[in-house]
Amino acid sequence: MSGISDINAGSPDETLSALFARQVRERPEHPAVVFGDRRLSYARLDARAQLLARRLADRGVRPGARVAVMLPRSEMLVIALLAIVRAGAAFVPIDPGYPAARIAFMLADAEPACVLTTREHAGPSFEAPLLLVDDELAEPAGAASTGPGTDEAGPFVSPLAAAYVLFTSGSTGRPKGVAVSHRAIVRHLRWMQEQFRLLPGERVLQKTPAGFDVSVWEFFWPLIVGATLVVADPDAHRDPALLADLVRTHRISVMHFVPSMLRQFLAEPTAVEAARASLRLVITSGEELPRDLSRRFLETVGCELYNLYGPTEAAIDVTFHRCDPDDGPRVPIGTPVAETRMYVLDSELRPVARGDAGELYIAGVQLADHYLNRRGLTSERFVACPFEPGGARMYRTGDLGRVDERGRLEFLGRADAQMKVFGVRVEPGEIESVFTAHPAVGQAVVVLSKAIGPEPELLAFVTLDADAGADRSGRPAAVPDTLVRDLRLHAVKTLPPVLVPYGPIVLPAFPLTANGKIDRAALAARGPAPQPRADPAPPSAPASGAAPGPVGVAELEELLSRLFARFTDSAAIGPDESFFALGGTSLSAMRFIAQASRELGLSVQLRTLAKAPTVRLLARRIEDELQRRPDAVSA
């Protein structure tokens, strides 16, 4: 039986590929990966990863290189990540649904030796060599689901080499890459196994997008201890009903939620029963965990709930807390994980008294190595640690915290304007720079507002350039709807969906604080002006997976028009108007997708909406899919 001793038996500085290889030798026929109706044993998964690793080597990928991965979530994504680390390279996940300009920037910044992708997502402007997994990972007809691996040794990989590079939002308008070593991530996975004891018979759900750090433990933790990894469909992480079905069907025992999604999950009628039947551990991180949500989960589901905290600049999480019904008004982020130190310091790097607020600093083996191609930013955020000898570093998080009376850390928010939405770190400056690049905009401010819906959402305000914002007499001009829609389309074409804010709301001037700074708090409280909301009480809808409802384009357009109006706060919808230009945001798009899937009885994907954002285009995509697969399909 696999346990703590299995991954602790060797050197603490083993690599991810070495730890996986041990499980291949010990349990070759054990199920490793499940995706839909496809199953891969450890031996079969290893054989396919070895094959792809050889293909990467043939393309010139050597230890220390970087390989970009542009694949939707599937078993092929798991194979690709294993192949890359086996080849000694660092994987750089890039969401194929990102705007072309953002993908181009990330590829240029990462300078990958190769791009792993599919024909569908390959871009003509990619400068790095392409390796199409459609060809390299296609299963021959009649191929066995299991088979012995060759036990071929890969190249030597230093534990100090980068295992992955993740891009996170940047305050200058450019995303920045964070490089994390094998040593850092392996030490974290060892701590997770010691703390949570994942066993071979258990199943972990992989649902976090590969560009976010939680996905790293979802991918690798089960595979280095002999458990089974169940891979969710692309965009399933946005659909509570589909998640509940996956938990029930595959008897998931361990999974992760950002708190805002956990709230949506618990609101799904089928979720609690499914969770109580098999879940024994749920981990939350990425956002502050509200006290009422923690209590509701413990009362309804009843399994262990842990609240973890950590920035991308460390190997995932650096503190942990087991939630308890007796937690106070603020759920702690807890105490440091193994080999990690946390400091609460003032502006002169002096420890503050217990109970006082200060900035959180992280030290220890789990720190990232650096920001990719950002020496100045690296030296600014990764600073010398005055409390440890030998040139030790610590990372300045920008988060505020304090130590409570029981010695547990509490998260108190940000020291700067940075924010988090659905677990994604957001630098408002990145979004603001997109709006100010438009010739009609003078200034832009992005805030996190609770004045829009049930969860905090990004809200954008702009003032117009002097020429665009005044008539010939110099008085403020009326803002045409076409300009607002043009600004939204400008943002949608540049930003990934999760960063698209509500708005923009055009103001003649921004409110100011007493010292003359923009009053962001006043803007967040202000919120958008009330809009007529179409169809506030939609008819009851069939559960996900029910037989398809409307099958004609006209019926589909009528249903989609109603849902577009409902989720964009628009009174009337034209068939060729974009969901995002009408005011749709990343969060409202997720809610739209979930409701449309229920009412249609099929799984509509967020990427489908991104590619077909109008009523007319989306209706045709869905109708085509219904005709091809009339018996329960995915649009």
Helix axes 291-300, 259-267, angle to 10 degrees: 40
The answer on pLDDT for 141 being more than 50 is: no
| pLDDT value at residue 520 | 77
d(CA 135, CA 117): 10
| pLDDT value at residue 73 | 92
What's the mean per-residue pLDDT of the chain? 83
| pLDDT value at residue 308 | 97
| pLDDT value at residue 12 | 61
**Is residue 425 classed as helix, strand or coil in its secondary structure?**
strand
CB 411 within 8 A of CB 457: no
**Which is more confident, 537 or 112?**
112
Averaged pLDDT for residues 549-568? 79
pLDDT band at 516 (very low <50, low <70, confident <90, very high): low
pLDDT band at 515 (very low <50, low <70, confident <90, very high): low
pLDDT in tens, 25-55: 999 999 999 999 999 999 999 999 999 999 9
DSSP symbols for 68-106: EE---SSHHHHHHHHHHHHTTPEEEE--TTS-HHHHHHH
The answer on pLDDT for 145 being more than 60 is: no
**Which is more confident, 276 or 172?**
276
Q: Which domains does the chain have, with CATH numbers?
A: 1-137+157-233 (3.40.50.12780), 239-249+257-364+379-423 (3.40.50.12780), 427-526 (3.30.300.30), 553-628 (1.10.1200.10)
| pLDDT value at residue 7 | 47
DSSP 8-class letter at 405 = T
pLDDT band at 222 (very low <50, low <70, confident <90, very high): very high
**Which is more confident, 141 or 306?**
306
Beta-strand pair 162-168/176-181: antiparallel
**Which is more confident, 591 or 21?**
21
CB 584 within 8 A of CB 606: no
Averaged pLDDT for residues 423-439? 79
Least confident of 67-76, 405-414, 572-581: 572-581
pLDDT band at 204 (very low <50, low <70, confident <90, very high): very high
The answer on pLDDT for 203 being more than 80 is: yes
Which residue is associated with the tokens 């304090």? 402
| pLDDT value at residue 542 | 42
**Is residue 570 classed as helix, strand or coil in its secondary structure?**
coil
| pLDDT value at residue 9 | 45
DSSP symbols for 172-231: TSS-EEEEEEHHHHHHHHHHHHHHH---TT-EEEE-S-TTSTHHHHHHHHHHHHT-EEEE
CB 559 within 8 A of CB 612: no
Cβ burial of 221 (10 Å; 0-12, 13-18, 19+) is buried
d(CA 521, CA 541): 38
pLDDT band at 574 (very low <50, low <70, confident <90, very high): confident
Which residue is associated with the tokens 């981990």? 283
- pTM exceeds 0.85, yes or no: no
| pLDDT value at residue 535 | 37
| pLDDT value at residue 138 | 63
Averaged pLDDT for residues 321-350? 93
| pLDDT value at residue 43 | 97
